């Protein structure tokens, strides 16, 4: 009975002071957040439940400043075949990662290339076994077994920011079925090109002219680079991207590199992560505790079939 009473206790948003509805609460480390205030947070904010009310206030102040920084950004390069796009402003050395076609209306986070501490493309081989019907109408595998193979291109960007340390997204929309196909080569080249454009070592050094992803604002006009000073210097191309072979059903790969079949890693003891990814467009939710019924990008039903 006490648990039931606690469920129906009136909760107040620590940010706006409004009353939170029964299904609208978003837990913080030391308070509660309403769903309307939660919508103002960055989609890349990690570990909200361990974030304090004061840290949320600071984050929302940054988000307001980010809107002004976004207005000053002029993308000169765009990447992405899937729903997720990366827009780079070569002159300012900034970029955004967004799933919104009208991104100016959704206030995507503006990051500085100088905040990138690592960028890693990966190619995953996915195999689906093919079956046929025998003379009795039963579905049986081929002998020898046959598979439909496709290759998924992913990108992971590691960042040094107060609220986000990694952004992961799928680069491919249509997935090629062969490393020899033109689409495979096109996606591979795009991943390498994106690595080059987000590599801080390929940019001429200059001071940022605005607050970017939580960094301190710089108002001095003298620090603004000359035209073209912030553009990347094209140097040696990164090594070819290694293909990660398909795992057997039920297997998963730990961050330490070990392939496992149980709930815990046999090498480091880490628990198998719970990951959801839309099986149609590749969209991934930031908060797995409040999953949508339908994918916000493509409208496909979102359920246990989208668990990776």
Within-domain flag for 273: no
Same domain, 129 and 151: yes
Within-domain flag for 181: yes
End-to-end CA distance of the chain: 37
Cα distance between residue 212 and residue 119, in whole Å: 19
Within-domain flag for 117: yes
Distance of CA 118 to the CA centre of its chain: 14
Average pLDDT over residues 209-221: 41
Residue 4 has pLDDT above 70, yes or no: no
Same domain, 133 and 6: no
> What percent of the chain is modeled with pLDDT above 70?
81
Within-domain flag for 287: no
Same domain, 6 and 131: no
Residue 12 sits in which domain range?
A: 1-69
Is the four-CA dihedral 88, 89, 94, 98 of positive or negative sign?
negative
> Which residue, 222, 246, 270, sits at the end of a domain?
246
Express each pLDDT in 19-54 by its tens digit.
988 788 888 998 899 989 998 999 898 888 888 999
In this prediction, residue 101 carries a pLDDT of: 83
Q: What is the mean pLDDT of the chain?
A: 81
Residue 215 has pLDDT above 90, yes or no: no
Same domain, 114 and 77: yes
Cα distance between residue 57 and residue 98, in whole Å: 23
Which residue would you say has higher pLDDT here, 148 or 280?
148
Give me 267's structure tokens. Answer: 């090498």
**Count of domains for the chain:** 2
Average pLDDT over residues 64-70: 93
Express each pLDDT in 165-200 by its tens digit.
999 999 998 899 999 999 999 999 999 999 999 988
Residue 255 has pLDDT above 90, yes or no: no
Within-domain flag for 43: yes
Which residue would you say has higher pLDDT here, 111 or 209?
111
Same domain, 7 and 118: no
Give me 273's structure tokens. Answer: 């992560």
Question: What is residue 221's three-state secondary structure?
Answer: helix
Cα distance between residue 141 and residue 42, in whole Å: 47
Within-domain flag for 156: yes
Express each pLDDT in 123-169 by its tens digit.
998 888 888 888 988 888 888 888 889 999 999 999 999 888 999 99
Residue 292 has pLDDT above 90, yes or no: no
What's the per-residue H, E or C state across 154-209?
A: EEEEEECCCCCCEEEEECCCCCCCCCCCHHHHHHHHHHHHHHHHCCHHHECCCCCC
Which residue would you say has higher pLDDT here, 294 or 222?
294
Same domain, 146 and 112: yes
Phi-psi bin for 249: left (phi > 0), alpha (psi -120 to 50), beta?
Answer: beta
Same domain, 201 and 115: yes
Same domain, 81 and 190: yes
Q: Please, which pLDDT band fits residue 228 given cuts at 50, 70 and 90? A: very low
Average pLDDT over residues 262-268: 85
**H or E element, residue 120:** strand 116-129
Give me 181's structure tokens. Answer: 């196909």
Is the four-CA dihedral 139, 145, 146, 152 of positive or negative sign?
positive
> Which residue, 69, 92, 122, sits at the end of a domain?
69
What DSSP state is assigned to residue 233? Answer: P
Beta bridge partners of 79: 86
Same domain, 175 and 137: yes
> Which residue, 227, 246, 265, sits at the end of a domain?
246
Residue 236 has pLDDT above 60, yes or no: no
Same domain, 84 and 176: yes
Residue 108 has pLDDT above 90, yes or no: yes
In this prediction, residue 224 carries a pLDDT of: 34
Within-domain flag for 262: no
Within-domain flag for 286: no
CB 20 within 8 A of CB 28: no
Same domain, 117 and 235: yes
In this prediction, residue 298 carries a pLDDT of: 76
Question: What is residue 305's three-state secondary structure?
Answer: helix
Would you list the DSSP string of 21-83? PTT--EE-SSSEE-HHHHTTS-TT---GGG--HHHHHHHHHHHHHHHHHHHT----EEE-SSS
- Number of H helices and E strands in the chain, helices first, is 4, 16
Same domain, 198 and 101: yes
Average pLDDT over residues 291-303: 79
Give me 127's structure tokens. Answer: 């195999």
Question: Dihedral angle at the C-alpha atoms of 183, 184, 186, 188, nearest 10 degrees?
Answer: 160
Q: Mean pLDDT lowest for which of 21-30, 50-59, 70-79?
A: 21-30
């Amino acid at each position: 009975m006490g648990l039931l009473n606690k469920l129906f206790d009136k909760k107040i948003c620590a940010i706006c002071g409004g009353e939170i509805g029964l299904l609208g609460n978003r837990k913080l480390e030391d308070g509660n957040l309403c769903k309307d205030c939660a919508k103002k947070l960055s989609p890349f904010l990690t570990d909200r439940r361990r974030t304090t009310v004061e840290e949320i206030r600071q984050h929302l102040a940054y988000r307001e400043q980010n809107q002004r920084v976004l207005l000053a950004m002029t993308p000169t390069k765009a990447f992405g075949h899937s729903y997720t796009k990366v827009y780079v402003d070569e002159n300012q050395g900034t970029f955004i990662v967004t799933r919104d076609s009208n991104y100016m209306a959704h206030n995507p986070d503006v990051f500085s290339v100088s905040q990138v501490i690592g960028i890693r493309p990966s190619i995953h081989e996915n195999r689906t076994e093919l079956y046929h019907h025998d003379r009795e109408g039963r579905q049986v595998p081929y002998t020898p077994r046959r598979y439909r193979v496709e290759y998924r291109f992913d990108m992971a960007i590691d960042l040094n920011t107060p609220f986000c340390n990694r952004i992961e997204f799928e680069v491919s929309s249509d997935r090629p079925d062969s490393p020899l196909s033109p689409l495979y080569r096109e996606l591979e080249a795009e991943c390498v090109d994106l690595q080059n454009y987000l590599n801080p070592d390929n940019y001429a050094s200059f001071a940022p002219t605005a607050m970017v992803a939580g960094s301190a604002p710089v108002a001095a006009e003298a620090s603004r680079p000359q035209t073209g000073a912030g553009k990347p210097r094209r140097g040696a191309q990164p090594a070819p991207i290694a293909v990660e072979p398909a795992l057997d059903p039920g297997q998963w790969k730990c961050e330490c590199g070990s392939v496992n079949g149980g709930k815990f890693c046999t090498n480091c003891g880490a628990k198998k992560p719970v990951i959801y990814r839309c099986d149609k467009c590749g969209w991934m939710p930031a908060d797995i505790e409040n999953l949508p019924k339908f994918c916000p990008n493509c409208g496909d039903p979102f359920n246990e079939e989208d668990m990776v």
